[in-house]
Amino acid sequence: MSSSASPRPFVYDGDRLVCSGVDVAALADEFGTPLYVYSADAVRERVAMIANGFAGVDHTICYAVKANSALGLLKRLGALGCGFDIVSGGELERVRRAAPEAVSRVVFSGVGKQAWEMDAALEAGILQFNVESEAELELLAERAQALGKTARVALRVNPDVFAETHPYISTGMSEHKFGIAIARARQVYARAAQLEGIEPTGVSVHIGSQIRSVEPFAAALQRVRELVEELRKDGINLRNVDAGGGFGIEYGTAAFDPAASVQQYAKALRSVLEGFDAHLLLEPGRFIIAQAGALVTRVLYTKQNGAKRFVIADAAMNDLIRPALYKAHHEIVPVLLDASRPASKADIVGPVCESGDFFAQDRETAELRSGDLVALLDAGAYGMSLASHYNTRVHPAEVLIEDGKTVLIRRRETLDDLFVAELY
């Protein structure tokens, strides 16, 4: 496997897995396991792909912080000129600490913004609030007036567009909790235009995550364009069109050309925006970081229970919950190849006391033995950001490979770290 043929920075150099040229086994020996490994080079490449796809279009890439909120990653994305899509006051604080120069490029999404979060974002001077309900709009107006600020807002409209993805990450249908019905949007914008402390600046839409077809994105954006044109006739001159995120990747072994996929996505959106004067906001997360990262884990034990073989690793569902939560697929590859190993089918599981603590079921790999290192690929998105301390387990370390050098961006937690906030 060569790096030029792979959409991932994790490739084999002889019989050793490397990430952007750095030996993964050596990283595991130095930093221990479980260990998250990311390639900053791959992240830069993905950002450049999106920028190239939308060259000539007035746009801002607002990275979705929820995908992976590591400060070391946000710092580098801010330096690349990215803005950020946030969904909490905590994520705002992460951007403020890691990339303060990018706060003015922040859009604040989410259905349950609290008053203190609104206050923090107003004081910070973010680009835009993506408002998801009429009650939220009223509270935002109150907070803006109290602080003597103006809140720039877009309504997140629900276009009722079906996108084929996991039901937990589909967000654009009328039965979902997100957004405001597009049919009601003109009335809500009229109210927003009357509210002191509110400045309508855009429209936002987000139909879901891990969507591989470009047609739903184009259909949703077409409805948004029509809405903006109607609102402009009403005298509400909106500038920003937030197309959301959700463009997917390939988690399996099927061919995937990320650059070509971005071009198809960009072509679909460009066709809708042709002749339309607006500033386009894009909110990619998974596409930028998922394939740039892997979770490296060491096999603790193997066992046979009846007809079932189990491979028990030192990583668990608290480190990477996607397989347990979504039945998500992650390729699992040995860090060191051994051609003498026969193929073997097993459940690859963690130590957590739940039957749902698995990374793969009945997965065929080269036979895995105690002490072996394996990498769970495409784990850069929704890995650490969904991690927990379940079973009082510490978080893994995170390292970033940048220009051939290894940067520790999160040390491994200690047990003492877990008890800092507790009183007894």
Provide the annotated active-site residues: 353
90 is in an annotated binding site: no
- 148 marked as binding residue: no
- Helical H runs in 80-214? 89-98, 115-124, 134-147, 185-194
Cβ-based neighbour number of residue 156 at 10 Å: 26
142 in a known ligand binding site: no
Asked if residue 265 belongs to a known ligand binding site, the reply is no
State the pairing for strand pair 59-64/279-282: parallel
Q: What is the spatial distance between Cα 252 and Cα 250, in angstroms, rounded to a whole number?
A: 6
Q: Which long-range contacts (CB under 8 A, 24 or more apart) does 190-196 make?
A: 190/234, 190/236, 191/134, 191/137, 192/131, 192/137, 192/153, 192/155, 193/235, 193/236, 195/137, 195/138, 195/141, 196/141, 196/144, 196/145
Check: CB of residue 213 under 8 Å from CB of residue 164: yes
Q: Is 23 helix (H, G, I), strand (E, B) or coil?
A: strand
Strand-pair category, 293-305 with 373-377? antiparallel
Rounded Cα distance between 101 and 165, Å, is 35
The reply, when asked if residue 382 is annotated as ligand binding, is: yes
Please count the CA atoms within 13 angstroms of the CA of 400 that sit on its side-chain side.
Answer: 20
The token pair that represents 62 in the structure block: 């607002």
354 in a labelled binding site? yes
Residue 101 labelled as part of a binding site: no
The Cα 157–Cα 108 span in angstroms is 14
Q: 3-state DSSP call for residue 363?
A: strand
Tokens found for residue 322: 């996607």
Strands (E), 272-404: 279-282, 293-305, 308-313, 332-334, 343-349, 358-366, 373-377, 397-402
How many Å apart are CA 86 and CA 107, to the nearest integer?
6
Closest CA to 301 of 240, 337, 349, 365: 349
Is residue 326 annotated as involved in ligand binding? Answer: yes
285 annotated as a binding-site residue? yes
Beta bridge partners of 39: 401
Binding residues for substrate: 286, 322, 326, 354, 382
Binding residues for pyridoxal 5'-phosphate: 246, 283-286, 382
Binding residues: 246, 283-286, 322, 326, 354, 382
